[in-house]
Chain A
């Protein structure tokens, strides 16, 4: 649904490297992925993110050729690759569990792909292996036994092995999931640097939305076998296309209510008389009237909501300010999690739970409010 929304891009974009059109995969009747339309550009770092079972790994495997789609087409540079086995696709794959060949040395692992194709550039096989081990910052480890390496080192060897034959496409399947948090952060920066240096088109699969946002050029948030939104990380974060995306990517407060007036109704440019901002509508949520900015939301054909429409919108926890009376909600503190730089506070407002981020702990009853411009409309359901 949301995939076209972000395709309005300028001329001179790099050509499309990988294209999935109406791709589906069923196993014995069970749907793994369905209606996947993706266009990944050359040199792009493209991430598939979603909870387990959302079809992100299946999508990657369909691109790699480990699985054949039961519907639709996969194209590499415009060429239909259905029926082309993995060894004919010139892709490099890195798995979560490294998948290093235990009966080969590090050097033999990295050099394995060079048995089937000449090294890119005018270098010998041994030189190419050395180059790649330098690239991943493991020089001189050719003779080591893979089992003697740490998890992070194994993953870098796996990366070097995938890159050695000079693939057109790098596919990374949850490559960091088996590593500890600190190492993961360091390694993902390193992976991104290598990717930029080589300019290689990369498809990255992760369940970690933070990882997805931090490294990618674009992200596809998947759910139930289909991408719900394909966009740049900032867009996904600020303008989630669905309630699912809103809640999956970062913390969020999602409200559902009924539009109670026309856009601009009751908007009197109070206080500073600011009319420059977006127009807002009053929304009735569980008896409270909250003002939500509309327009400028890139809502396209949906148009502005009319009175009586059901509407869903979200407000990030950091935008719910304690003590703010505009859109003020009186809530009681349920619990607090100290996260270091901030504290995440769980509030009870009626039957709903609200999340707020503050620097200091809170207790008792508080009033939290938000700027209508900080509310993002996710969905409008015309009556």
Chain B
């Protein structure tokens, strides 16, 4: 308030003013930077691919789409409908036993089956986690996130090691005198692998919803005369059901766009849309690849959109509820009902162990088992040997590990600030927030192949800007693709914390003189720090496991990552692939531990 006593004071004031001005615009600046990154490494590349699907030889045409829709190879019997045939005849053909589904139809079919399997496998886990108390419950709850971030190609290797002709399953069956089963390259293998990925997701969201059911509501229903079953159906189920639906919708979208699992377990015989887009792109048939990718995107977005509409109408926000009390897993009084539910959970436990633990265990086992069935370190020796003597064009282990680590660190550094900024921008209330949310979260739903293809065609091959040819190195494009794939996870781990922060904390800080960016630094981020750390862990894990976009972009001999290395090994022999898978498992696990240490304590998300 005083008028100052000389130049020193006024100099300080000027510095303060400058700092204020920088701070006031810091958030806006970061937002602009995020938008710019998204535009350059996501919307522009994806846009170029989409343009390629409608521009043929410089003319705009929907011909590519029209051909696609009328091709039974893609749409099966439905293609006849698009070709203008009688709908009744098409429906009759569809219910006939020898119906043709086409690539798109098969993709939807396997996604639907995978969704059913995931829900069937996920719900008992939710029941167990939400309603029973037992040692290790919290740990198990935290572990449900693990399958989702495991590198998909590694899981595929694990499934090959389990269900392959010489896999552990057949070894076990042979030991008890049963004949070998052939599960590889079958729909069953794909569905089980998808359930491995997505059942924990279903379990997670369902558990969270179940835990937020207020015990008071159930007690009210009971006191009004509803029995246990009736109160479950009338009070609990309606609150849990939307979560199950959300898990199912996400599962469908994820499995509809599946790539590495199908590539490894199904081969091109059981190709899904994503695999075919990859194949078309590899054969340089870009227009058809782009058109097919658009069809895939439209279907995915339609399912997500339908779900989001449903969610908007059915979301019940209940805060500060008293959760239902958990029962001990070992019943105190062994009644018939109590024993039956425990028996059911026991059977489920065996199935779950088989699905979730067998692939990882089999992979580890296969990596130390020789062709003759004896324990050996040959596969690891192969990796060491390859590293020492491998030719320049061959995949060597160390560059793969090094690339994975560098890409993971670099993409996490990009994804973290992007994710935090998007979380901040989408948790504030204003008109058009939904649109911003959708634009920012689109990378979640867009296939990796599409992103990879766009980056390759748009940036790596180079673009002409004002007479300058700008080309981006393959490794930079990989980092960009990984950051784009990873930052939605940062948003998802940070946004709920920010959203539940008391708005008056932020307003108090602002009234006390803090700029918006300063409040973020001083108040919001410290309070949601566990979410930020979890987001970093996610970003790293996603980058380490990302296969789809990487395999498109890692055309050069020097930019391959561990998952790409595994895929190249798997084509020849399983042994080295499983050994490489174990390396990936260890490196990913270690990264998780390091991030957790760096970020301080947090109790999982």
Contact = CB atoms under 8 A, between A and B. Distances in A.
Interface of A: 28, 64-66, 85-87, 89-93, 95-97, 99, 101-103, 112-113, 115-117, 120, 158, 161-162, 164-165, 167, 171
A92 B522 contact: no
A99 B507 contact: yes
B504 A99 contact: yes
A86 B504 contact: no
B527 A91 contact: no
A99 B505 contact: yes
7 contacts: A65-B510, A86-B507, A92-B511, A101-B509, A101-B522, A102-B527, A112-B514
Residue from B1, B502, B508, B523 with most neighbouring chain A CB atoms (10 Å): B508
A66 B507 contact: yes
Most buried by B among A87, A115, A120: A87
A65 B510 CA distance: 10
A85 B518 CA distance: 13
A93 B513 contact: no
A86 B1 contact: no
Given A28-B431, A112-B522, A120-B1, A93 B527 contact: no
A162 B511 contact: yes
Contacts of B523: 101, 103
Contacts, number: 72
Contacts of B514: 87, 112, 115-116
Interface string B494-522: 00000000101101111111111010001
Contact of B513 (A95, A97, A115): A115
Given A86-B507, A112-B514, A116-B518, 11 more contacts: A28-B431, A65-B510, A66-B507, A85-B510, A92-B512, A93-B511, A97-B502, A161-B512, A162-B508, A165-B512, A171-B511
Interface residues of B, number: 21
A91 B511 CA distance: 6
A162 B512 contact: yes
Contacts of A117: 513
A357 B202 CA distance: 63
Interface of B: 1, 24, 431, 502, 504-505, 507-516, 518, 522-523, 526-527
Contacts of B510: 65-66, 85-87
B513 A161 contact: no
B506 to A, nearest CB: 9
Contacts of B527: 102-103
Nearest to A111: B512
B27 to A, nearest CB: 12
A263 to B, nearest CB: 53
B522 A95 contact: no
A99 B502 CA distance: 7
Given A66-B507, A95-B508, A103-B527, A87 B502 contact: no
A99 B504 CA distance: 6
Given A87-B515, A116-B513, A162-B512, A95 B1 contact: no
Contacts of B507: 64, 66, 86, 93, 95, 99
Contacts of A102: 527
A339 to B, nearest CB: 32
A116 B505 CA distance: 17
A267 to B, nearest CB: 58
Contact of A116 (B431, B508, B512, B516): B512
